[in-house]
Structure 1
Amino acid sequence: MMGLEEIIYKYALINAVKHKGKAMEKAVIGAVMSNEPQLRKKAQKVLEETKNIVEKVNKLTPREQEEELKRLGIKVEEKRGAEKKKKELPPLPNIKEKVILRFAPNPSGPLHIGHARAAILNHEYAKKYNGKLILRMEDTDPRRVDPQAYKMIQEDLEWLGIKWDQLIIQSDRIPTYYDHAKKLLQEGGGYICTCKPERFKKLKDESKPCPCRNLPKEENLKRWEKMRGMSEGEAVLRVKTDLKHRNPAIRDWVGLRIVEEAHPRTGRKYRIYPTMNFAVTIDDHLLGITHVLRGKDHITNTEKQKYLYNHFNWEPPTFIHYGRLHMDNIQLSTSKTRKGIQEGTYKGWDDPRLGTIRAIKRRGIQAQAIREAMIEIGAKIADSTLSWEKIYGLNKNIVDEIADRYFFVSDPIPFKIRNLPEDLKATIKRPLHPDHPERGYRQIPFNGRVYIQKEDLKGAKLLRLVDAVNVKIKNKDLEYHSSSLKEARRHNARIIHWVPIEGSIPANVIMPSTKIIEGLIEPDAKKLKTDQLVQLERFGFARVDKTNKKIIFYYTHK
């Protein structure tokens, strides 16, 4: 039969496991009084004992709390909360035929978490409707193309679990854009403008046509042919819109222009390149795109493109604009990141301070966590905020199940425990994962010579070395006190992890700030493989980056 302290201890553990490792004193008292009516007459004693017991329970790690409940034979229903219903995206409007979507990045660098939203939403909707997803590289500005990005983007998408049905590279389609440029001129929907940019802007701002706007079609077609021999800035093809439009940016926008710089893929084969709005409109129509999902910062582009649809008498796709995605303390600008890499501020596209898919992957965050976050945010018009804490929470639900456990001691201090009985020296077996004994056990030799974390010594009088012994701190040394866990609890000992001096392996953990935490890890860590996810007990989750004489980890989160 349980005594008063054991009963309170039980309810404190249950409450802690239900609330992310933190038991609440009032809730524990309420549970005791509600479920143990025989103790109501001892209410004062319950109040007195609960405070100390809750403090003791809250010093345990969440995993230790769960292990204690298992030891007591208590099962908490769905210890991490009831399984939430899987989030689904709302239906797409205007479903008339096979749904065809596209993800259309500019190959100026690898993808970042902002791109992931567009990619994942388009992929999820393609799956939802058994439709088609096109990956389209929008590379019609040679000045913004990174030759490595074509491959990096595809690698990033593959890691995210995104499969595309067709790959389109716009620089392969320049003749198609030329054909439609000529057709636009023939139908009077565009004109070749040779006005100086400053002159055109002044007229545009006054809602007045430039002298080129009303030239005959024949003259525009002649100018189109001559344009191939002109220099950059001498002429552009403009798409006719409404010169009185409230937004001057929409008035007669540029559809094609001359770019002298060589293209990384096609060299100097072409000198006239379509702008994004021109190429996108042509491709979306010819590829049969039914729905365009993109940020609301593209609303002006959508309005521009609709003029081109009207000129060609095409039916536009359904446009869906979603709100901005805000993330604090994260670098998403590709140009700033590239500059930072060139200047040595960042170590590469996978620097842990960045928000690139590569950096996220290197830290051990799972693609599924990113997918779940983006599906939850969805394609709503309202702006959204995504915190690292949200991503960490989703990721923990995934990695907690797959990560094997190991002891890692940062800032290690060596000790030889004095007066340790010989019969307590042994090889300690500890499961790789507490919920999966079938995975096997770690072998941790214990002979009294151990490394302990400097932080764990502060303010402590009695320490419990997990699965080993209890020691007291005496004259900056450790002395054997007792062996039982019960005795440690009775004396309110601090429960800590440790590693043996013999066989321990040097290990560094690279934090998201790039700060390096140096330490030592238990001997069985020599079996770890690159890319393996682990939980360094009482420290956090991490991904194995390198395994040589020293193991290098990238920190994931708590």
Structure 2
Amino acid sequence: MDEDLRERVEREAEKHALFNALEHGSDAEVGPIMGPLMGENPDFRQHGDEIAGVVAPVVSRVNGMDAEEQEARLQELDADLYEELMAEEEEDDQLLPDLPNAEEYDEIRMRAAPNPNGPWHLGHARMPAVMGTYTEEVYDGHFIVRFDDTDPETKRPDLDAYDAILDDIDYLGFTPDEVLKASDRVETYYEHARNLIDEGGAYTCSCSGETFSNLKNEAEACPHRDKDVETVHGEFDDMVAGEYSSGEMVLRVKTDIEHKNPALRDWVAFRMVDTPHPREEAEQYRCWPMLDFQSGIDDHLTGVTHIIRGIDLQDSAKRQRFVYDYFGWEYPEVLHWGHVQIDAYDVKMSTSTIIGKIENGELSGWDDPRAPTIASVRRRGIRGQALVDAMLELGLSTSDVDLAMSAVYANNREIVDDDADRRFFVRDGVELPVAGGPDVANPPLHPDHEDRGDRDIPVGDAVLVEEQDLPAEGGKVWLKGFGPVKRTADGLEYTDDDLAVVKSGDVDVIHWVPAAESVPVRLRTMNGDETGHAEPGYADYGADEMLQFERVGFVRVDEQVADGESVAYYAHP
């Protein structure tokens, strides 16, 4: 390489190394900058073997600078590239819009209000991802997790779901400032119901559901609407005491019986439920608040400033405003968003659907790789931040939005790739004897980190190769880390070809494992389980470690078994 070319390579490498370091807020690496470097400078390619040696010291020099020095140097070398970096950073900072009227509040307070009727599916991740980001990263606010568990019958709480949901929030990277259970606050709701009765804003009603529906649709007042306050108090006290059965009596909020939206006309605030609550602390209650009443009271008492809820729940704010007006309270700021739809799954993203499939044996549990759940992607080795970043990129559109799992996978690849060692895994391989060649193969542990060294794979007398990788008799392949082999009638025979046959495109590089010392592995994937064998060094990894099975994809080690089949979960390509 002549001196002029070397100077060009160094200059271009420095630009890309500076951009890489500033973009990711960490040290630049040789591997990630080689692609754009060679792509933008085609004439460098014929010197490919020498380029990396020139680039490495440049990268080291860039990593020795602080961020201010890197910015100044990039601006000096390439002002356009620097502007591109600044535009990227500005775009990243604007993933979420400013909250309305945020400057009017001393503290931004937001709440995630899950119903703990089961663990979370992937769509639920949007709630803590957005609200946690607003309160922890954008506004230094207050993040509340409130379990809306006041329906012991229709959406019956799952006692295990409370901790499971908090665990999921932690996995996503957020820590609530406050955790509440609505079922612990029933007396508070009773107190406010009595205050509402005193304000003339509520009445007890024993109409059947059908009778009241007909009255409501005709904009006619319920005959119980004008009861005196003492009677309403007495009947509500009887509700609280459990004197009525389900359907016999409700407490209604008095609104506008002629309101243009029938759904807002004298809505139910409390009803009777015969089924005891599964929580021991709440099993004595039979008179339970409806969600709109309970949630509205709690939002005020906990000082919530901003609410984000589904576009399909617009009537909730309208109902709750009647209660707020009776009490003279100021309603929080409200934003609405559409539903999240996620590709790549055959199972509907619904708690009840997933429960049904687990109960009938179609799924092995919430962490089955085929289930569209947080537990599933977590067990597959997908980091919470990868999911959060993908959710933030959806913004706050009021339309339904599509989340491509490929976006989650791309985010996760950036997070895990650098630390994930490479290993070979052959799915249901064909065993072939090998003649000649070295006794031990030495592929690198990581192609971008030469300092980590190579791995030693004893070849033995035979190898396992995936059938689709095998050439016809007389054809050649390159066993990665071992070398070139030709297929013969008896198996594989080592040849004296050099790497030029690979660079020319005449010979494919394939993965393999030794037949004698390989490790049996069951790989759990979204398409079902696959069986095969991993190279011997796989046995050294513990549960939760991430690897890349070369030419297969990233996996999370789930369980190592000394004398049996180990288990790994497939994450993504």
TM-score (norm 2): 0.82
Contact 1:508/1:516 (8 A) holds in 2: yes
Closer, same or farther in 2 for the Cα pair 1:469/1:437, shift >3 Å?
closer
**Pairing partner for 1:383 from 400, 407, 419:** 400
Equivalent in the alignment of 2:69? none
Equivalent in the alignment of 1:556? 571
Distance 2:323 2:446 in 1: 60
Contact 2:440/2:482 (8 A) holds in 1: no
**Pairing partner for 1:90 from 94, 97, 100:** 97
Contact 2:522/2:568 (8 A) holds in 1: yes
**Pairing partner for 1:131 from 125, 128, 141:** 141
* Partner secondary structure for residue 246 of structure 1: coil
Contact 1:363/1:554 (8 A) holds in 2: yes
Equivalent in the alignment of 1:494? 508
Q: How many residues align?
A: 504
Note if 1:203 corresponds to 2:207.
no
Tell me by how many angstroms 1:276 deviates: 0.6
Contact 1:160/1:371 (8 A) holds in 2: yes
Deviations 1:457-496 (CA, angstroms, capped at 9, x unpaired):
1558111111222112223622232242224445711111
Contact 1:87/1:376 (8 A) holds in 2: no
Distance 1:119 1:31 in 2: 44
Equivalent in the alignment of 1:253? 267
Equivalent in the alignment of 1:118? 127
Distance 1:109 1:69 in 2: 57
- Written as runs of structure 1 = structure 2, the 5 A alignment for 1:81-480 is 84-85=88-89, 86-88=92-94, 89-95=96-102, 96-127=105-136, 128-143=138-153, 144-227=156-239, 228=241, 229-265=243-279, 266=281, 268-328=283-343, 329=345, 330-418=347-435, 420=436, 424-447=437-460, 449-457=462-470, 461-475=475-489, 477-480=491-494
Note if 1:543 corresponds to 2:560.
no
Closer, same or farther in 2 for the Cα pair 1:491/1:264, shift >3 Å?
closer
Tell me by how many angstroms 1:268 deviates: 3.6
Distance 1:456 1:72 in 2: 32
Closer, same or farther in 2 for the Cα pair 1:553/1:70, shift >3 Å?
farther
Distance 2:478 2:272 in 1: 74
Paired residue type of 2:402: T
Closer, same or farther in 2 for the Cα pair 1:69/1:317, shift >3 Å?
farther
Contact 1:192/1:212 (8 A) holds in 2: yes
Segment drifting more, 433-442 vs 153-162? 433-442
Tell me by how many angstroms 1:137 deviates: 0.8
Paired residue type of 1:282: I
Aligned residues: percent identity? Answer: 38
Tell me by how many angstroms 1:289 deviates: 0.7
Contact 2:443/2:482 (8 A) holds in 1: no
Closer, same or farther in 2 for the Cα pair 1:512/1:20, shift >3 Å?
farther
Distance 2:501 2:208 in 1: 87
Distance 1:267 1:92 in 2: 36
Closer, same or farther in 2 for the Cα pair 1:142/1:426, shift >3 Å?
same
Contact 1:544/1:552 (8 A) holds in 2: yes
Contact 2:146/2:181 (8 A) holds in 1: yes
TM-score (norm 1): 0.84
Paired residue type of 2:382: I
Instruction: For structure 1, list consecutive stretches of 5 or more residues without a partner in the other structure.
Output: 3-13, 37-49, 54-66
Distance 1:355 1:507 in 2: 24
Tell me by how many angstroms 1:447 deviates: 4.2
* Partner secondary structure for residue 289 of structure 1: coil
Paired residue type of 1:91: D
Tell me by how many angstroms 1:285 deviates: 0.6
Tell me by how many angstroms 1:68 deviates: 7.0
Tell me by how many angstroms 1:233 deviates: 0.4
* Partner secondary structure for residue 126 of structure 2: helix
Closer, same or farther in 2 for the Cα pair 1:68/1:394, shift >3 Å?
farther
Distance 1:72 1:454 in 2: 37
Deviations 1:185-235 (CA, angstroms, capped at 9, x unpaired):
111111101111111000101111110112222221122123231111000
Tell me by how many angstroms 1:395 deviates: 1.4
Closer, same or farther in 2 for the Cα pair 1:376/1:69, shift >3 Å?
farther
Distance 1:489 1:107 in 2: 57
